[in-house]
Each structure stands twice: as C-alpha cells, then as structure tokens.
Amino acid sequence: MKLSYKLYPFQNSNPNQKSIGTIIILHGLFGSSKNWVTVAKLLSEFGTVYALDQRNHGDSPHSETHSIPIMASDLETFLHDFNIQNPILLGHSMGGLVAMYFDLTHPGVLKKLIVQDIAPRSYPFAYDKEIQSMSFPLDGFTSRSEIDLEMAKYVPDTFIRQFLQMSLERKEVGLYRWKLNVEGLNQTRRVFEDVFTAENPSETKTLFLLGGSSEYIRNSDLDVMDQFFKNNQKVKFEGGGHYIHFTHQKEFMETLVNWLQRET
C-alpha cells in the first residue's frame, strides 16, 4: 500500500551541522501524522523527517486488512519507493509495535530505533469505548462541539476525545466524517496479539521512552525489552502515561535531542 505522509526537510541554522539521515515517525492507533507535527519539526533539525499515515488512518487508503506484519510491509514499500537507506525509526504504541517488528524482521536495515511506551508482546484490543464514540451517525451534527457532547457519553476523558477528533473532518458540503476506517479497525481486534515470536534478537541501538504511570508497561516488560533488543536504553518519565510526547513534551523533546546528539 502507498502511504500518505508529511515531509519535513532537514533544516538547521548551524551551517556546520550535517544531516544524520532520514527519520521516520509511525503514529499509534487512532492517530495520524497530525499528532506529530511538533516532534517532527524538532527532529528536522537533525535530518529529513517523514511522518507517515499508516493504513486505515489519516490520508492513507482504507483496507480490510490491518495487522502489524502488513503495516511493516507498508513501511518496507515506502522505504523502497523513496530509496531510503538506514533510517532512524520512531514509533508510538501501534507504531512502536510496527517499528519493533520491522527491525526484528529486517536486521541491519535501521540505523536506530526509538519506541514510545509499548513493549514487544501481545496486547488486548481494549478500545470498545473509543470505537463506540466514533460509530454513531454524524448526519445532523452541525458543529464539533455537538459531536463532542455525544462522544462524551462513551469517552469521558476530554484529552482522549480531543485526540480522536484530530481525525474528524468536515467535508465541503458541511457534513462531518471520520478519516479513520473505524469499522475496519473494529473488525481487526487481534491486531496486537501473537506478533513477537522472532528467535533472533535485535542489535539495533534502541531507545525506549516510557510513561512512569503508563498502563501499557508492566515491570516484566523491561526484561522482555532486553530479551528482544540487546542494545537498548530506557528512559522513564515519572507520572507520565501513554502520550508523553504531549503531556511531558519538554522533557520528551530534551531526551530525544540529547540521545540523538550523543549517539551521532
């Protein structure tokens, strides 16, 4: 599948600063490249950045097929089409699973790997409320605030609703629609199960950025990360949840910059 993307060319005010290469960002479930504008602009000071829309998200095509291996295949196609060699790959949540799977099944391709708040293991599809909040008919709604009130019946968390609504689009005729393939994603509930069975661990330099209070990370996951990624560093953001690139943006950015400067 040909994926949509946003391009952020390498730009640095220091004429002596050379590009470290290509950096690719993979968003999480229900997200898109729109969630990563601030981070992408920062990373463009180090190299050329591509923020991708994964299948069934953003402006990329919809498909009945949605799995970690097939999204890794989409990434492989993207790298081939743009002749990208040895990129740095940053993935959050679902994007992190795709990034880890790609690295494990394509040894030596990545220059570095950055994974935000996800571990190389199976996860349940625990998003019934989010799916319900995007499944009611949008006919008759005349504003985002009206849609938000209806969504709040299913998802009380304002932050999560605002995150989901980044994929809400108003068409020229005034009607709203979800850019997400909501029904297609609802039909692929085993997308996060039984993915990581590779016997050969990765040697890629890997940075795990973890929310200290995230429900996505167990204490036992730290050993699993070490099992699959032998050359890794972990940074935990105290009090952080799953969306530390938003909630702990300053510390998140500083950590990324420091790691990239040290590693390059």
Per-residue pLDDT at 36 exceeds 90:
yes
- Condensed to tens digits (0 to 9), the pLDDT of residues 193-235 reads 999 986 789 999 999 999 999 999 999 999 999 999 999 999 9
Cα distance between residue 27 and residue 29, in whole Å: 7
**The pLDDT value given to residue 173:** 76
| Average pLDDT of the residues of the chain | 95
Tokens in use for 137? 């008919």
CATH architecture of 5-124+190-263: 3-Layer(aba) Sandwich (3.40)
**The pLDDT value given to residue 198:** 65
Would you list the domain boundaries of the chain?
A: 5-124+190-263, 128-186
- Condensed to tens digits (0 to 9), the pLDDT of residues 156-187 reads 999 999 999 999 999 877 789 999 999 999 99
pLDDT: is 43 or 171 the higher one?
43
Look at residues 151, 137, 127 and name the one whose alpha carbon lies nearest to residue 31: 127
What single-letter DSSP state applies at residue 165? G
Which band of pLDDT confidence, cut at 50, 70 and 90, is reported for residue 247? very high
